[in-house]
Structure 1
Amino acid sequence: MTDQPPLLAPRSPRSLIVTFYGAYGRGGAGHPAGRPVPIAALIRLLGAVGVDSPSVRSAVSRLKRRGLLVADRTSDGAAGYGLSDAARQLLDDGDRRIYGRRSGRAGSGWLLAVFSVPEEQRHKRHLLRSRLSRLGFGTAAPGVWVAPAHVHDETRHTLERLGLDAYVDLFRGCHLGFEPTAEAVGRWWDLESLAAQHRVFLREHEPVLRRWARRRTVAPQDAYRDYLLALDAWRRLPYADPGLPASLLPADWPGSRAARVFSALHVRLRDAGARFVEPVLG
């Protein structure tokens, strides 16, 4: 799940549709592989998280115009929508961030992205900055962006796919001063804003996890609803938060706790929710 999807506002119909496809609409165990989702099924499944039919249809149209969804027919001739190849690749790439959260280790070094874009190609400069930001880079200086070294492969893949690699040089290195690295990190990233985003997630979804911990049985529709809402809220955070080493973060950093809460909800609810989705998809 990456690039275009994280731009969408959480809990908007478009965002929830992208989240649904990322969780349940790509084929494999628990749902029909490679088949479009009937529009009637999509309306019912989004209705379970509070989105009405007109909003679903409008959001699908917009996602189609953006090249994320493609119109198709199901095996019985019903109108449906599947993922475009580009959207499938974006979601597959995003899985590594959303489900395979990585944090840097102290001493593992930094990745520097140094770029220069000609003035007549200002739109590419804006695109490059937005992509680096969404990959978790902070700003060390104008035209110099920094991230933990572990994001190198994803950064290279993204820049090459978008045709932006010609404008960027990538370097690995260590921070040698003059201020302590923990203080420099506070300049490169807005840690207060990142912490606030994690706390919002915890405020909304930690009580959900506690409720599920007390339940002896799992109702599939309830599991689906709570999981989809949690995933929709969570999937932006691993992009905003680059996964800095714990030694460089404030002692009360809420990101690790937020990651544990999402992981526990994923284990508890994802497959249970699939038992609600499967009959609807038919």
Structure 2
Amino acid sequence: MTTHVGDRKGPSETPVPRHHQLIVSLFGLYARQHGGALAVATIIDLMRDIGVESTGTRSSISRLKKRGVIDSVQVNGRNGYALASSVIATFIEGDERIFHPRRAKKGDQWLLATFTVPESQRNIRHKIRSSLVRMGFGSVTPGLWIAPGHLRDAVLAYFDTRGLNEYLEFFMADHVGGADLHKNIGSWWDLPALDSLYSDFLEHNRELLESWVQRDGFDADPDSDARAFGDYLVLVTQWRRLPYLDPGLPTEFLPDNWNALEAEHLFQQLHTLLAPRAQRHADRAIADHAVTA
């Protein structure tokens, strides 16, 4: 059974993942388990399983290569691609953040960041700001940024690998009093927008969970595994940006009925149901091309 990406439409706020985003998830989930590389034919076949034609796949592969995300390699004597060495560390860190997100507690320390960039290097300033946002920082003032302390190691490694540490200073800090921290957190991060993203994720995937729970048998047949693969690849692609936009703020400082907690639970349920089936399907596809090479 084929799962077509185009069939999974929803509100405009949550667009269906783009082809290159799905391919990034494909590499993150399966390439590293098979020597770090996938043959082009394997990528095309697996993307076809979710309704993406080969022309779209090839175009997205080319885009990712130009961006330095993947490199050309040989796989069993065939043309293939592997994750670029410069992004492997990011993928490893992403595994923890995506599949085992941490949530800070009220009394935990905070990570503060400040940076100085010469006026002649405005492009570096923009790169640092966008990177801070990507890693989950909130903006206290234009020159001071804040994130939960448990992100320290990941943040330091992220900026070090990108050669940006020379512009930044990081500090670990306790909140010891002053203004209402609950109120300030609501201004440092755009919590309504983030909660809306979690709400959209729930809306798109509650029925997906119900459909799999209600399926008869759960036999390990190829058609069922192919469907699980398509659903899982889209699911992970939809989910993986959220643990970065949400740095794991303490629940005590979040609005009532914060959608993140239910969304995290839903993702873990679907991950438990679909990941083994999707893995079987991907393994079959990769093995088939290895045999025919």
- Listed as ranges, the matches of 1:41-120 within 5 Å are 41-75=42-76, 77-120=77-120
What is the identity, as a one-letter code, of the residue corresponding to 2:184? A
Contact 1:111–1:173 (CA<8 Å) still a contact in 2?
yes
Give 1:232 deviation, angstroms.
0.3
Corresponding residue of 1:240: 245
| C-alpha distance in structure 2 between counterparts of 1:174 and 1:87, whole Å | 33
- Secondary structure of the residue that 1:25 maps to in structure 2? helix
TM-score (norm 1): 0.91
Give 1:176 deviation, angstroms.
4.0
- Secondary structure of the residue that 2:145 maps to in structure 1? strand
Q: After TM superposition, which residue ranges in structure 1, 4 or more long, deviate above 4 angstroms?
A: none
Contact 1:114–1:168 (CA<8 Å) still a contact in 2?
yes
Corresponding residue of 2:180: 180
Pick aligned residue for 2:31 from 22, 25, 28: 25
- Listed as ranges, the matches of 1:214-233 within 5 Å are 214-215=214-215, 216-218=217-219, 219-233=224-238
- Secondary structure of the residue that 1:156 maps to in structure 2? helix
Q: CA RMSD in A?
A: 1.3
Asked whether 1:158 is paired with 2:149, we answer no
Give 1:62 deviation, angstroms.
1.1
- Listed as ranges, the matches of 1:130-145 within 5 Å are 130-145=130-145
| C-alpha distance in structure 1 between counterparts of 2:75 and 2:95, whole Å | 26
What is the identity, as a one-letter code, of the residue corresponding to 2:191? L
| C-alpha distance in structure 2 between counterparts of 1:78 and 1:171, whole Å | 49
Contact 1:10–1:232 (CA<8 Å) still a contact in 2?
no
| C-alpha distance in structure 2 between counterparts of 1:90 and 1:171, whole Å | 22
Pick aligned residue for 2:275 from 258, 270, 276: 270
Corresponding residue of 1:15: 21
Post-superposition Cα deviations, 1:81-109, rounded to whole Å, max 9, x if no partner, equal 12121232221121111011000011102
Asked whether 1:257 is paired with 2:262, we answer yes
What is the identity, as a one-letter code, of the residue corresponding to 1:155? V
| C-alpha distance in structure 2 between counterparts of 1:154 and 1:127, whole Å | 17
TM-score (norm 2): 0.88
Contact 2:115–2:167 (CA<8 Å) still a contact in 1?
yes
The share of aligned pairs that are identical, in percent, is 37
- Secondary structure of the residue that 1:37 maps to in structure 2? strand
Contact 1:10–1:16 (CA<8 Å) still a contact in 2?
no
Contact 1:111–1:152 (CA<8 Å) still a contact in 2?
yes
Contact 1:227–1:273 (CA<8 Å) still a contact in 2?
yes
What is the identity, as a one-letter code, of the residue corresponding to 1:249? L
- Secondary structure of the residue that 1:106 maps to in structure 2? coil
Corresponding residue of 2:11: none
Contact 1:26–1:88 (CA<8 Å) still a contact in 2?
no
> Unpaired runs of 5+ in structure 1?
1-8
| C-alpha distance in structure 2 between counterparts of 1:151 and 1:88, whole Å | 18
Post-superposition Cα deviations, 1:96-138, rounded to whole Å, max 9, x if no partner, equal 1101100001110211101111101111110100111011000
Contact 1:139–1:188 (CA<8 Å) still a contact in 2?
yes
Give 1:177 deviation, angstroms.
4.4
| C-alpha distance in structure 2 between counterparts of 1:148 and 1:24, whole Å | 30
> Unpaired runs of 5+ in structure 2?
1-14, 288-293
Post-superposition Cα deviations, 1:177-204, rounded to whole Å, max 9, x if no partner, equal 4321110100100000000000111111
Aligned residues: 268
Corresponding residue of 2:9: none
What is the identity, as a one-letter code, of the residue corresponding to 1:124? I
What is the identity, as a one-letter code, of the residue corresponding to 1:254? N
What is the identity, as a one-letter code, of the residue corresponding to 2:46? L
Structure 1 residues 239 and 10: CA distance shift in structure 2, 3 A: farther
What is the identity, as a one-letter code, of the residue corresponding to 2:260? G
Give 1:262 deviation, angstroms.
0.8
| C-alpha distance in structure 2 between counterparts of 1:175 and 1:108, whole Å | 9
Contact 1:113–1:144 (CA<8 Å) still a contact in 2?
yes
